[in-house]
Structure 1
Amino acid sequence: MTSQNLDQFLESNISDLKEKGLYNEIDTLEGANGPEIIIEGKKLLNLSSNNYLGLATHQDLKDVAKQAIDSYGVGAGAVRTINGTLDLHIELEKKIAAFKGTEAAIAYQSGFNCNMAAISAVMDKNDAILSDALNHASIIDGCRLSKAKIIRYEHSDMADLRAKVEEATGSGAYNKVMVITDGVFSMDGDIAKLPEIVDIAEEFDLITYVDDAHGSGVTGDGAGTVKHFGLQKKVDFQMGTLSKAIGVIGGYVAGKQSLIDWLKVRSRPFLFSTAVSPADAAASTKAIDMLMKSTELNKKLWENGDYLKKGLKALGFAIGNSETPITPCIIGDEKQAQTFSKRLREEGVYAKAIVFPTVPQGTGRVRNMPTAAHTKEMLDRAIRIYEKIGKEMKLI
């Protein structure tokens, strides 16, 4: 007999989430995650994917992945420190380092794993971490795992950051102090104030850590937010994923050779989890190579992002202050955001509602992610549907 306490806990809490409009229904795609998708037999215009450059379905990546499977099999077979390190992994890490302008890089199984691994490998209970208030959940969890003192500063508020840095460093209570921020904030699309953050870090000898999951492939002509500001030599940790603009799966940290050497002997997900598959490593390397050789896809992404923003803003939707192709349509009330998303889907646009705890309560939204694979006709169709539903719900 299963636990009655567990059953009561699950039933009451799931019911509560549904009542508040906070329960997330998971949809199943019947095919590839491209600019258009099929769910329950219906074709939908897809504005919810992180596949920014359309590389997840790119033929060149599929070809190298198939070749890797034929040569190496479907799995690495072991953790990296035993005999799971393939020459494909070494090639990938060299390519990432060249892409990010650093001495070296280390590849992980996911971006979430990176933050769990890297932060706790360097920071401990005798240290402090200054973390932006809107940092990703994986950063928050990585900071907690390290047992360091977590000091939250107001989102992109440099005066608040400076004040808290002065307090932390002036107390003499901590051996090391780190400042950590997303490069691009995924819910609002704004970019971290990295030049100001680096200036403060240099003044107080802080360790700098930038999570560029939504910046790699997007900002800096594709090379990321650190490159966007020309700060490759001044940021200690450049972290990113291989699963968004890169189009595959996995994550990485790029930095000095000594840092990467340390992470390879002290970061637990690297030590105790099987390496990414040969196909994933080969496809990721190919994607990065493409981005280093051409900015065509990057330019198309920005063009489409600007086009969608202009269209939605002209209709009167609140789209926030995004500085990237990420285009939030802020509704406010969580239930209304869920209803808006549902109506969009009924009319042929798949744009998921984002509600608490992913965003603060009262800021429910539909987040649009235009990609390089969308055509102008697709975006025009989306704008027309937004207009129809917005007027129907009296949002515009």
Structure 2
Amino acid sequence: MPSETLDQFLQHNLQDLKDQGLYNEIDPVDGANGPEITINGQKLINLSSNNYLGLATDDRLKEVAKDAVNSHGVGAGAVRTINGTLDLHVKLEEKIAEFKGTEAAIAYQSGFNCNMAAISAVMDKNDAILSDALNHASIIDGCRLSKAKIIPFEHSNMDDLRQKAKEATESGQYNKVMVITDGVFSMDGDIAKLPEIVEIAEEFDLITYVDDAHGSGVLGKGAGTVKHFGLQDKIDFQMGTLSKAIGVVGGYVAGKQELIDWLKVRSRPFLFSTSLSPADVTASRKAIDLLMESTDLYDQMWENGNYLKAGLKELGFDIGQSETPITPCIIGDEKTTQQFSKRLNEEGVYAKAIVFPTVPRGTGRVRNMPTAAHTKDMLDKAIKIYEKVGKELGVI
């Protein structure tokens, strides 16, 4: 017999989430995840994808992925440390290092895996981690796994970071102290104050770690937040994904050769999980080549982002303090946010509601991400639908 205790737990808590407007419905997409998608037979303008540059459906990536399957098969066949490191993995890691301006790089199965792997490979119970209060869940979980003392600092508050760095380093309690931050904060679209963080890190000898999942491809002419500020030689860990702007799947850490050598022998997801498939590796390398050869997609994404921002702001929507194409429409109340997203969907725009625990309670929002693949006509239609639904629900 199934456990009655488990049944009661699930029934009670699922209903509780639904009552609070916190239950997330998953909407399977029929076909590719492009600027327009089809869900349940309805064609929708897609503003919820992290496919920032439209590369997930790019024909050039498709072709090299097919070639890789034909030459190397559909899977790597083993973990990296046995015989799952193909020549394709080496070429990808060399390309990432060139792209990020570092000595070396290591590829993982996902961005989440990167943070679980890299933080705990270097930090332990005798150390401390200064973590921005709005850091991504994968950073939080990676810090927890390390068993280091986690010391949160107020979001992008450099005075608070300096004070806590001073306290941590002068206490004599910790062998090492790391400061870790997102490069671009995915729910608000603001950029970490990396120059100030580096200044504080140098003052107190902090290890620096930047999660650039939402900055790679989006800042620094595509090379990311660290390149945006010209700090490639100042940041110890540059972490990023291959699943957002790059359009495929996976993650990586870039840094000094000795750091990458250490991660290859001490980061558990690298050691104990089969490596990325040949198609994914090859498509990712092609995407990086495209970004290094031209800024056309990058420029188009920014043009579209600025266009949507201006349109929504003019209508009176609260778009927060975003400094990137990520454009939140902050509604506040969770149930209203869910209703707002549902009505957008019914009118032809797919823009997902983001509520607690992804964002703090009372700050529910619909997160919009215009990509390089959107046309002005699509964005104009989306803005008109936003106006209709916003007035209908009293949001504007």
- TM category (shorter chain) comes to over 0.9
Give the equivalent residue in structure 2 for 1:193.
193
Aligned residues: 396
Residue 6 of structure 1: CA displacement?
0.2
Residue 251 of structure 1: CA displacement?
0.1
CA distance in 2, matches of 1:394, 1:166: 47
1:7 maps to amino acid: D
2:65 maps to amino acid: A
Residue 173 of structure 1: CA displacement?
0.4
1:308 aligns with 2:303: no
CA distance in 1, matches of 2:67, 2:194: 40
Give the equivalent residue in structure 1 for 2:22.
22
CA distance in 1, matches of 2:197, 2:391: 42
2:152 maps to amino acid: R
Give the equivalent residue in structure 1 for 2:162.
162
Give the equivalent residue in structure 2 for 1:77.
77
Q: Deviations over 1:105-160 (max 9, x none)?
A: 00000000000000000000000000000000000000000000000000000000
1:382 aligns with 2:382: yes
CA distance in 2, matches of 1:166, 1:206: 10
Give the equivalent residue in structure 1 for 2:286.
286
2:189 maps to amino acid: G
1:32 maps to amino acid: A
Show the 5 A alignment for 1:256-267: 256-267=256-267
Give the equivalent residue in structure 2 for 1:333.
333
1:98 maps to amino acid: E
CA distance in 1, matches of 2:102, 2:296: 24
1:243 aligns with 2:243: yes
1:347 aligns with 2:347: yes
CA distance in 2, matches of 1:83, 1:144: 31
Q: Deviations over 1:261-307 (max 9, x none)?
A: 00000000000000000000000000001000100000000000000
2:310 maps to amino acid: K
CA distance in 2, matches of 1:30, 1:256: 42
Residue 395 of structure 1: CA displacement?
1.1
Structure 2 residue ranges without an equivalent (≥5): none
Residue 314 of structure 1: CA displacement?
0.2
Residue 64 of structure 1: CA displacement?
0.3
CA distance in 2, matches of 1:117, 1:393: 44
2:166 maps to amino acid: E
Q: Find the residue that maps to 1:359 and give its secondary structure.
A: coil
Q: TM-score, normalized by length of structure 2?
A: 1.00
2:130 maps to amino acid: L
Q: Deviations over 1:76-120 (max 9, x none)?
A: 000000000000000000000000000000000000000000000
Give the equivalent residue in structure 2 for 1:319.
319
Give the equivalent residue in structure 1 for 2:129.
129
Show the 5 A alignment for 1:208-223: 208-223=208-223
2:146 maps to amino acid: S
Give the equivalent residue in structure 1 for 2:356.
356
1:272 aligns with 2:272: yes
Residue 164 of structure 1: CA displacement?
0.3
Residue 381 of structure 1: CA displacement?
0.2
Give the equivalent residue in structure 2 for 1:117.
117
Residue 394 of structure 1: CA displacement?
1.2
- The share of aligned pairs that are identical, in percent, is 82
Q: Find the residue that maps to 1:252 and give its secondary structure.
A: strand
CA distance in 2, matches of 1:205, 1:312: 43
Q: TM-score, normalized by length of structure 1?
A: 1.00
Residue 321 of structure 1: CA displacement?
0.4
CA distance in 2, matches of 1:386, 1:40: 21
Q: Find the residue that maps to 1:210 and give its secondary structure.
A: strand
CA distance in 2, matches of 1:394, 1:258: 56
Show the 5 A alignment for 1:9-158: 9-158=9-158
Residue 48 of structure 1: CA displacement?
0.1
CA distance in 1, matches of 2:260, 2:293: 26
1:273 maps to amino acid: S
CA distance in 2, matches of 1:122, 1:136: 19
CA distance in 2, matches of 1:395, 1:234: 44
CA distance in 2, matches of 1:45, 1:363: 24
CA distance in 2, matches of 1:321, 1:220: 19
What is the root-mean-square deviation of aligned Cα atoms in Å?
A: 0.3
Q: Find the residue that maps to 2:43 and give its secondary structure.
A: strand
Runs of 4+ in 1 over 3 A off after TM superposition: none
1:297 maps to amino acid: L
Q: Deviations over 1:338-361 (max 9, x none)?
A: 000000000000000000000000
Q: Deviations over 1:296-329 (max 9, x none)?
A: 0000000000000000000000000000000000
Q: Deviations over 1:162-215 (max 9, x none)?
A: 000000001000000000000000000000000000000011110000000000
Give the equivalent residue in structure 2 for 1:296.
296
Q: Deviations over 1:353-387 (max 9, x none)?
A: 00000000000000001000000000000000000
CA distance in 1, matches of 2:101, 2:8: 53
